[in-house]
A and B are shown apart, each in its own frame.
Chain A
Amino acid sequence: MRSISKVFVLMLLLLMGVMVFAASSKDYVIVGTTDKFTSLDPAKAYEYLSVNLLQNIMTGLVTYVPGTTQIVPALAEKWDISQDGLTYTFYLKKGLKFSNGDPINAQAFKFSFDRVIKLGQDPSFLLSDVVKETKVIDDTTFEIDLKYPFAPFINILAFTVAYPVDPKVYPADQVYNGMPVSSGPYVVKRWVRDVEMELAPNPNYYGDPAKTPTILIKLYQDANSLYLALLGGEIDLAYRTLLPQQFAQLEQNKKFVTYVGQSPFMRFVVFNVKQDPFGNAKIREALAYAVNRDEIANKIFAGQVKPLYTMIPVGIWGSMNVMPSQDIAKSVSILQSLGYSKDKPLNITLWYTPSHYGSTEADLALTLKNQFESTGLIKCNVNYAEWATYIDYWNKGVMGMFLLGWYPDYFDPDDFVWPFLQSSASPLMGSNYSNPTMDQLLTDARLVSDEPGRTALYEAVQKLMAKDFPYIPLFQGEQQIVAKPEVGGVVLDPVQIFRYYLLYKK
């Protein structure tokens, strides 16, 4: 027995004596995240990390200038748009090559666009809704014909769904699961599914080469693991998503640098206007007046989100505050005019999901419940369902009032109002809102091509929304990054493209 304890003590001492090597090489940056990615085929990629990885290993006809919402040519040299807004002609840069040496030409673009539409995967509607046909004019000239004029189309072309793939590698009739062929700054060097991914510079990239020879992206199961990995020195940078308290603590920690930037991500309450009592716009209005956004932002999110008073987030042109601030007296008077009293309160149920928007979601639902009930005339129940069930419930119209979030597909006001307010799109959002005036405004805003004209239309859209109250916008998210001080090149982008190729170690 004595010898066993000796061995045990010896082993313990040995273990204590061992120091884990701290990653200190300048040749790589290790990024940690809790996001998951499922596919790196542009025809299928749709959730955040899949899209973000593609934005670092591939590129499209056009792209955003880092840190801005300005669109500039990428693989295209320039482009023309016909007078009627129906034909887009792109002139490609000369001598473009994929990472494997195959040419990036008009044929590759035609193949890729047609393939996205044919495969009909998650993001395909972005092209199939508007694109009528694609044409190869010559090797470096590519033409896209639209079904109708659609002003935000150029923004869609900056999204991953419009990235070209190598026709020799990607099958035309099925999703590709192999190693991606790159057109962007990085190539995938190694990929251990659900564990990590290693990126190395693409020698055939047309633009400025990536700043760091190796980027390693490590995937963590949850915020706690990510937080501990950061504190334990396993990663150089954490991007998406720590808990608000963890981020607040790291802001005080001198061993790390925190970055905060605007995000177009937003959260809101949806009313299913086909379900009583939410069919009554007055009731929706009374509920909207009861909401205190500052309390939500400060109490639940430690000030790490910004109150939002419209459906178009701040930072996207056309955004204007239209929703009322909290006014309990006003809310009470509306409810009283509808015949509600302390003895006969308005009975409602608010739904949330604990498994999609993080652990703060239950607090958000409870805070809203308390705010509604502070009128004294509302009795609000809170109910929840796990995410997969939640989606099912909203598709089937089970929930009358529920919490949702939105991350845009393209950076144009259209993507923040059309899917919510247009009468054929709103059922998908679980709202079923329909108003012919609104439909007209939304359609007009798609057809007009000049920004001032469109701005006026979107202002009218937002004002009308604040009359009908089919949604209550709550707050706008914020991008957060925590990094070791030696990591440079962190750019927080308003369109939320995180660029690994700009990262380097000082």
Chain B
Amino acid sequence: MKTYILTRVILSIPMIFILLTVVFVILRILPGNPVTAMLGPKAPPEVVKSMEAQLGLDKPIIVQFGDYIANILRGNFGNSTVTTLPVIQELEDRFPATLELTIFSMVIAVLIGIFFGSFAASHYGKTVDVMARIYSIFVYSMPVFWFGIMLQLIFGVWFKILPVSGRASPFMTPDNLYTGLYTIDAILNGQWNVLYDALLHLVLPSVTLGVVISSIFVRMVRSNVLLSLSSQYVISARSRGVKESKILYAHALKNAMIPILTIMGLQFALLLGGAVLTETTFSWPGIGSYLVERIRYRDFPAIQGAVVFFALFVVVVSILIDIINAWMDPRVRY
């Protein structure tokens, strides 16, 4: 087990290095100078020059690359060219919002996926099954931001029962921030109204993202449960007169979970991609909206930082999932 974990960690190092290089190169190939993008049309050339020197953009590209890698190894993502604050600090401020949204979306996606998927599999070929398939195709092809705006319009504007955007109502943020996750911090502070408010704000964005991601889960759960349902142990359980619901949830679904878990890990990457759009639609102050905003300014350190942060997050999650998988299924380990 130890060797397995070690191999997974070591294998991810070249992957991250390649990613760092790709991000760096893409940013330099793109037309658009961060200094002029930031200073705008009125900046005199001397100011542009001095700013370039200050940001190290006047150095040869290979030197810039060396500095960039060396700094990242030291955990230094540099300072944002827009706000001059350390990127790592900005990411730390933003990350809890993304994490909170991601967790809630994942829970919603998994719940929909497991219930709808296994329900469809147990009713193979019937209306529910057809509906499940239509659902997953429809939802998968639906643009995240469109779905988000529809929900905002229906629940926020017409019925006025849910907040349209943001993480909290005015003056409803937790008094002390421990984790940055408003729900957890509200509980730790014992501020129940803040918790309630934070949950209300989470509903629309996490449903939007969760539903979109759930399409894949529904399909995966459905096909894996179908596979399990046709296996020998299910047939023998049926012949022994075990209740159908017990067969489905206790036997078929349990065995179908291993491949599903792997897919869930992979979906994390997709989830973060979806988070960029969801965060923009709901003015959710996470890393996704941060990235979009800073691309506009060609804020190289911030973009690099955010992408690397995302990548590390995905790598860590996928390693964790692999480890859980290996622990659950000994075949993976050997």
Contacts and interface: CB of A to CB of B under 8 A. Distances in A.
Interface of A: 1, 4, 15-16, 18-21, 23, 28, 30, 36, 38-39, 46-47, 120-122, 124-125, 175, 177, 192-196, 216, 218-222, 224-225, 228-229, 231-234, 355, 385-389, 391-395, 404, 409, 419, 428-430
B83 A195 contact: no
A388 B203 contact: no
B164 interface: yes
Interface stretch (B58-66, B254-262, B293-301, B320-328): B293-301
Given A222-B280, A391-B37, 7 more contacts: A16-B159, A122-B42, A234-B164, A388-B33, A391-B32, A392-B33, A395-B36
Contacts of B169: 20-21, 23, 234
Nearest to A214: B171
A392 B41 contact: no
B282 interface: yes
Nearest to A385: B31
B40 interface: yes
A220 B298 CA distance: 20
Contacts of A419: 42
B40 A391 contact: yes
B241 interface: no
Contact of A28 (B170, B200, B282, B285): B170
Nearest to A235: B170
B30 A391 contact: no
A46 B44 CA distance: 14
Interface string B68-91: 000000000000001111000010
B161 interface: yes
B242 interface: no
A190 to B, nearest CB: 8
B164 A4 contact: no
B36 A120 contact: no
Interface stretch (B15-23, B150-158, B184-192, B230-238): B150-158
Contacts of B37: 387-388, 391-392
A389 B34 CA distance: 10
A216 B200 CA distance: 20
B316 interface: no
A23 B168 CA distance: 13
Contact of A225 (B165, B173, B285): B165
Nearest to A394: B41
Contacts of A389: 30-32
B289 interface: yes
A392 B31 contact: yes
Nearest to A429: B41
B290 interface: yes
A387 B41 CA distance: 11
Given A122-B47, A389-B32, A30 B161 contact: no
Given A46-B40, A193-B90, A388-B33, A120 B164 contact: no
A4 B115 contact: yes
A30 B171 CA distance: 11
Contacts of A385: 31
A177 B119 CA distance: 55
A221 B33 contact: no
Contact of A221 (B42, B153, B289): B289
Given A16-B161, A18-B200, A125-B44, A387 B285 contact: no
Contacts of A394: 41
A232 B160 contact: yes
Contacts of A429: 41
A111 B162 CA distance: 50
Given A232-B164, A389-B32, A392-B36, A219 B283 contact: yes
A262 B169 CA distance: 33
A385 B203 CA distance: 37
Given A177-B83, A228-B153, A391-B36, A120 B161 contact: no
A228 B285 CA distance: 17
Nearest to B162: A20
A404 B41 contact: yes
B103 interface: no
B164 A39 contact: no
A266 to B, nearest CB: 14
A222 to B, nearest CB: 7
B50 A120 contact: yes
A21 B197 CA distance: 10
Contacts of B297: 388
Nearest to B153: A228
B41 A195 contact: no
Contacts of B84: 39, 175, 177
Listed from nearest, the 6 A-B pairs whose CB atoms lie closest are: A388-B32, A388-B37, A232-B164, A389-B31, A232-B156, A389-B32
A19 B119 CA distance: 34
Contacts of A4: 115
A391 B41 contact: yes
B280 A36 contact: no
Interface string B189-219: 0000000000010010000000000000000
Nearest to B115: A4
For B167, B283, B289, the residue with the greatest tally of chain A CB atoms inside 10 Å of its CB is B283
A228 B311 CA distance: 33
B41 A228 contact: no
A23 B163 CA distance: 12
A222 B183 CA distance: 26
B307 to A, nearest CB: 17
